[in-house]
Structure 1
C-alpha cells in the first residue's frame, strides 16, 4: 500500500473506494459529517512520516526490524519528572508548545527560554519535552550544560539520538560525529543552562536536520542571541502571579493549596517579598512546614524581617540554610562543593566517621528541598542552591575547588576541611597539611614537591591522573596515576589512621599493594577499578576489619585472591567484573557472612565456584553474565539462600538444574524447594529444568 491510497481514499486506485461508496449510500446509519471525518483522518495519517519498503531495498524482514527498533526507542523515552506541585506551569507550557509549532518540515528551528536562576526555566523545558518528544524521531534532554564537560555532553546527545556509546576523546571529534551521524534524523534537543559561546559551538552547531527542534535555556539573553534565535522564538520567564505564588507556598508549607487559618496575612506578605520567585517560595515553604504552632509565629515574622533588610535571592535561600543543624550545614556544604554527581554510598561512609545522624540529616535536607537524590542514587541540587552553598563555603574558607595553580594564592588554609585541585601544577603544598583536612581529591595535577605529612584527620583520599616527582620521600608516588615505591607508601599509610575511603581508580600500572595497606584499620571503601596490571592483593588486606566495599572490576591481570579474604568479616560488596584471567575463588569466600552483592560478570576464565558460596546467607545478588563455565559448578544448595537474585543466566542453563536432581542423592535435604528470584538484565534466559520439584 502506498501513501496515495490513503491520501485519496475515494480515488480509483484506493482500496477504500468501494467502502466509502457503501457508507455514503447508508446515510440513514452514518451521517455525512461522520464519514467525512473518517476521510480526513486517513488524509492526516498519510502526512505523517513512517516506514517504506524503499528504506530497506524491499527487504521486508529488515523493514520489520527497523519498525521494531524505532518503536522500542520511542517507548524508552521515559517522561521527565517535572514538578511536585506544577503551579502556574500549564499556561507557560502551552505558550511554548505553540511556538514549537511555528517550525516547518523544511528547516530546523531554535527556541530559547530566558530568565534568572530558580525562575522555572528547566521545569518548563522538561514539560515541553514530555509534551513534544514523541513527535520526533529521537529526543535528548541535556541537563546542567555549564557544569559538565563538553565531550560528555556530546556523548549523551549521540547516545540519546543514535545510540552511539563510544567515549569521545575530543570536542572536535564530537562535533564531527554530531554532524555525520544525525543526518536525516528529526530530533528534539534541549540544552539546559547554557552560559558560554564555547558550549554553543560544541553542542548547538548547524547539524540538526530539517524538521528538528533545538531549545536552549539560559540566564543570559545574549547567549540566545549568539545562538541565532530570533526574538519571536525566545520566551522570557517571569515570576508567578500573587495567587499562584500563594498556592505554591501553601503546598510546601501546609500541604494544601491555601494557607491554614491564622496564616493568611503572613503567607501573602512572604509571597510579596519573594516577588513570585518559584524556587524561593518552595524552599521557604519547606522551611516553614513544621512551624505552624502559636509559638512559631515569631519564626515567620523573623523571615519577613530578613526580607525587609535584604532582597537578594541568595540571602533569601540562606534563611533555610541558617535553620539547619550544625551537622546538616556541613553535609550540605560538602554536597554543594564536592559531591554533586557522586553516588551516595561513599559520602555517607565519609560522614558517618564524623557525625552521628547522617541519614536523618540527608532526609531533612531533602525534605527542605536543598538537595535531591536522583533515581541512580546520585546527589544533585538546583544550580542556584549550589551557588548559594559555594558562596557560603568561600566566605567561611572551609572548602576549596579550584585549578591547582591558583591554590598557592589562598590566604587562609587553616579551616579547610575539603579540597579538590584539578588540572595544573601545584607548587605550594601548604594547604595539603592543614590540620582539619578530611577530604582530598587531586585530578590531573602535577606536584612539584613531595607530599609529606598528610594530616591524620584525612578520611577520603582520591587521586585521578596525577604525576609526582620521582625523588619523593615519606609520600605516595603517582606517575600517571601509578602507585609505586612500597616503602614510601608505608609511611603515608601509617600517618592516615582515620582514612575511610581510598580511591585509586585507573592506576593502570599498579602491580601490587604494599603489606602496609593492612594498617588502615578504619578503611571502609577500597576502589582499585581499572588497575589493569594489578595481579594480586597482599595477605594483609584481611586485616581491614571494617572494609565494606571492595572494587576490583577491570583488573584484567588479577590472578587470584588471597586465601584469607574470608576474614573481611564486614564486607558487603565485592566487584570482580571483567577480571579476565581469574580462574577460581578461594574457599574462604564462604566466610563473608555480611556479603550482599557479588559480581563476577565477564570473568570468563572462572572455572568454578566453591561450594562454600552457599554459606553466604545474606547474599542478595550474584551476577555471572558470560561466566559460562562457572555456571556448571554452582551448587544447587545455593537455592536455600532466602534473598538471592541471579543475574546473567547463560544459554546453557539447561545443563544446570535448579531443583535437587533426585531424592536418593540428597536424603538429608528437604523436599520443599523454591525457585530463585530474577532481576534484569536476563538477556540470555532460555529455560529451566525442574524435574523433581514436588511442591
Structure 2
C-alpha cells in the first residue's frame, strides 16, 4: 500500500489502529519489535528495512485509534463516511460552478425522472455556444452519479469522431470508465458486442458532451433497448438536429442568463464580488448588455477587466459595442477582444493549447515553451486569470470548446487558402493533403520539434 501511495499520492491510506498503539507502529516497538527480531532471521535486512519504513510512514498517517470494544459501530460509520467523501471527490467532475446553475439542474433532473425504473431515459441539452451546456451536464452528473452502478462522461465527442477510428476510441473510453478494464476493442462491431455483453447489464449513467450530426447512438453504444431500464443518458449539442436522431429524446435548452444573474457572474470575475461597486454600476450594466446573457462571454470579459484602469474599461466597452449585430459569430468576436490583449508569448502558448494540448498534461509542452523563451509559468497564469484556459485536478489543460475554436480560427486566418503556410496544423486531413502535395518541409519541422519534446 505504501509503495502504491508513493507512486501517486492521490491514492489514500486510511489506517485503523485496532487495539494497537500508533507509536508502536511508527517506532516498531512493543510487539512489533519482537516480530521484527523473528523476521530478521528469515528475511534479508533490505526487505526488513523496507517493511519498517512502510510501517513508520503508515504510523504517521492520520487514522482511527480503536482501544475499546464498545462504540465500534460509530467508528465504522465514520470510516465509511470518510471513504465515501474521498471517493466522491475522486469521481466528481470539475465544473465552472456557474451562477444560476441550480435552476437548470432541477429542470434536467425532472426530465431524467430518476424514480422511473422500467424504462431508460435520454435527455438532450441543446443551445448556442457559450450557454454553459457542458457545465450543466457536469453539474447534473455530480449530483446523481452515486445513484448508479457505473458512470461514464465522454468529452469533446464532436471532435473525437472526426479522427480515424474515432468511434472505436469512444467505445474504449466507455468500456474503460464503466468496467475499469484497460483491454481495447479494435472495431466498432467488437465494441458494440462488448458493451451489450458487459455494460448493458449494469445501471449506468452515460453523459456524452458536444455531439453533432455524425454521432449515431446505435453505431457507438448499440441498441438503447439493450440497456437496463434504470439507465440514464445525457447528450449536449449546439445543434438540436443532432438530438432528433436519438430515440425518444427529451429536449432541454438552458437559455441565456437573466440580467440579475448576468450582472452577478460578471461582477464575480470583474470585481471578485457578487455585485459591482456603486461607482462602477453604470459601466458594468453596459458590459452586461453587450454580453447578452452568455456565461462564457461574461466570464472572459469580466476576467479581462479585473484590476484594470477605467480608461481601459471604456476602450473595451466601445470596442465591444462596435461589433456589428450582423456579425455571424458575435461570441467569437467578443472573446477575441480578450485574445488581442495577450502578449506574443502568451498568444503562442494559447494557440498551442488550442491546436494540440487541450486534455494534455501540463508538463508535456512546458519544456518546449521554456526552450522557446515563452516564459510558460507567467504566461499560463495570465491565461488562467483571463478565463481562457484551466488546469484541472489531473494537471491537464482544459479549454472551453468555443475558445478552442476561436484559437484555431485565428491560426486558419494566417493563410486561408494554404493551410500548410499556417503556424500549426491539427487536422489529419490537412496533414495528409500536405503530404500528397509535397508540402513536407513544415511537417518535418513540426515532427522534429515533437521528437525534441519527447526527448526532453
Report the Cα distance in structure 1 between the residues aligned to 2:109 and 2:427, rounded to whole angstroms. Answer: 43
The CA distance in 2 between the partners of 1:183 and 1:294, in whole Å, is 58
State the SS of the aligned residue for 1:150.
Answer: helix
Which residue is 1:428 aligned to?
437
Given that residues 195 and 221 in structure 2 are in contact (C-alpha distance below 8 angstroms), is that contact kept between their aligned partners in structure 1?
Answer: no
User: Which moves more between the two structures, 245-254 or 378-387?
Assistant: 378-387
Paired residue for 2:96? 83
* 1:41-70 CA-partner distances (Å, limit 9, x unpaired): xxxxxxxxxxxxxxxxxxxxxxxxxxx9xx
Match of 2:146, SS state, is helix
Q: Report the Cα offset of residue 261 of structure 1.
A: 2.8
1: CA distance between counterparts of 2:278 and 2:364?
Answer: 45
Distance 1:358 1:165 in 2: 34
Aligned length: 362
Which is bigger in relative contact order (C-alpha 8 A, separation at least 6)? 2
Q: Kindly state the Cα deviation for residue 412 of structure 1 after the two structures are TM-superposed.
A: 6.8
Matched, 1:301 2:310: no
- Asked if the contact 1:418/1:439 (under 8 Å) is kept, the reply is no
Q: Deviations over 1:639-688 (max 9, x none)?
A: xxxxxxxxxxxxxxxxxxxxxxxxxxxxxxxxxxxxxxxxxxxxxxxxxx
The answer as to whether partners of 1:82 and 1:127 remain within 8 angstroms in 2 is yes
CA distance in 1, matches of 2:254, 2:281: 27
Q: State how far apart, in whole Å, the 2-side matches of 1:184 and 1:122 are.
A: 27
Cα distance between partner residues in 1 of 2:219 and 2:286: 45
Counterpart Cα distance in 2 of 1:297 and 1:75 = 44
Question: Which deviates the most, 151-160 or 297-306?
Answer: 297-306
Instruction: Report the equivalent of 2:134.
Output: 122
- Seen in structure 2, the aligned counterparts of structure 1 residues 224 and 353 have a Cα distance that, compared at 3 Å, is same
Partner of 1:273: 290
Report the Cα distance in structure 2 between the residues aligned to 1:439 and 1:238, rounded to whole angstroms: 45
Instruction: Indicate the residue corresponding to 1:100 in structure 2.
Output: 112
CA contact (8 A) 1:162 1:182 kept: yes
CA contact (8 A) 2:355 2:426 kept: no
Gaps of 5+ in 1: 1-67, 399-409, 442-457, 463-499, 502-524, 527-548, 550-695
Change (3 A) 1:294 1:74: closer
Deviation at 1:133, TM superposition (A): 1.2
User: What is the CA distance between 1:199 and its match in structure 2?
Assistant: 4.2
Corresponding residue SS for 1:217: strand
Structure 1 partner of 2:305: 288
Q: Which secondary structure does the structure 2 equivalent of 1:165 belong to?
A: coil
Moved more, 196-205 or 145-154: 196-205
Alpha-carbon displacement from aligned partner over 1:545-569 (angstroms, at most 9, x marks no partner): xxxx4xxxxxxxxxxxxxxxxxxxx
What is the CA deviation profile of residues 273-324 of structure 1, one whole-angstrom value per residue up to 9, with x for unaligned ones?
A: 1110000111011111121x34334334334433466571111110111111
Q: CA deviation at 1:179?
A: 0.9
Is 2:418 the partner of 1:411?
yes
- The 5 Å alignment of 1:306-455 reads 306-307=322-323, 310=327, 312-397=330-415, 411=418, 413=420, 415-420=421-426, 422=428, 424=432, 426-430=435-439, 432-433=440-441, 440-441=446-447
1:235 and 1:411 mapped to 2: Cα distance? 40
RMSD of the alignment, in Å?
A: 2.7
TM-aligned CA distance change 1:174 to 1:273, over 3 Å? same
263, 271, 284: which one aligns with 1:246: 263
Q: 1:411 to 1:141 in 2, by over 3 A?
A: closer
* Offset of residue 73 of structure 1: 13
Task: Quote the offset at 1:197 in angstroms.
Answer: 3.9
CA distance in structure 2 between the aligned counterparts of 1:412 and 1:103, rounded to whole angstroms: 52
CA distance in 2, matches of 1:186, 1:125: 19
Report the CA distance shift for 1:391/1:297 in structure 2 as closer, same or farther (over 3 A).
closer
Scaled by the length of structure 2, the TM-score of the pair is 0.73
The within-5 A match list for 1:139-158 is 139-148=151-160, 149-158=166-175
Q: Which of 240, 244, 250 is matched with 1:225 structurally?
A: 244
Closer/same/farther in 2, CA of residues 385 and 272 from structure 1, 3 Å limit = same
In the superposition, relative to structure 1, how do residues 421 and 382 fare at CA in structure 2: closer, same or farther (>3 Å)?
closer
Aligned: 1:208 with 2:216: no
- State how far apart, in whole Å, the 2-side matches of 1:255 and 1:348 are: 30
**Kept after mapping to 2: 8 A contact 1:155/1:164:** no
Mapped to 1, the partners of 2:293 and 2:373 lie a distance apart of 37
- Contact between 2:127 and 2:239, CA under 8 Å: does it hold in 1? yes
Give the Cα–Cα distance (whole angstroms) in 2 for the partners of residues 155 and 256 of structure 1: 43
Q: CA deviation at 1:190?
A: 0.8
Which whole-Å CA distance do the structure 1 matches of 2:184 and 2:100 have between them? Answer: 40
Judge conservation of contact 1:250–1:258 (CA < 8 Å) in 2: yes
Calculate the TM-score normalised by the size of structure 1: 0.49
Q: Whose helix fraction is larger, Structure 1's or Structure 2's?
A: 2
Q: Distance in 2 between matches of 1:182 and 1:87?
A: 35
Q: Distance in 2 between matches of 1:331 and 1:340?
A: 11
Alignment partner of 2:125: what SS? strand
Larger-gyration structure (1/2): 1
Give the distance between the partners of 2:91 and 2:345, measured in 1 at CA. Answer: 36
Q: 1:300 to 1:263 in 2, by over 3 A?
A: farther
**Does the CA-based 8 Å contact 1:182-1:209 persist in structure 2?**
no
Maintained 8 Å contact 1:197/1:226: no
The 3-state SS of whatever aligns with 1:316 is helix
Is the contact between residue 74 and residue 138 of structure 1 (CA under 8 Å) also seen in structure 2? no
Partners of 1:261 and 1:271 in 2: CA distance: 15
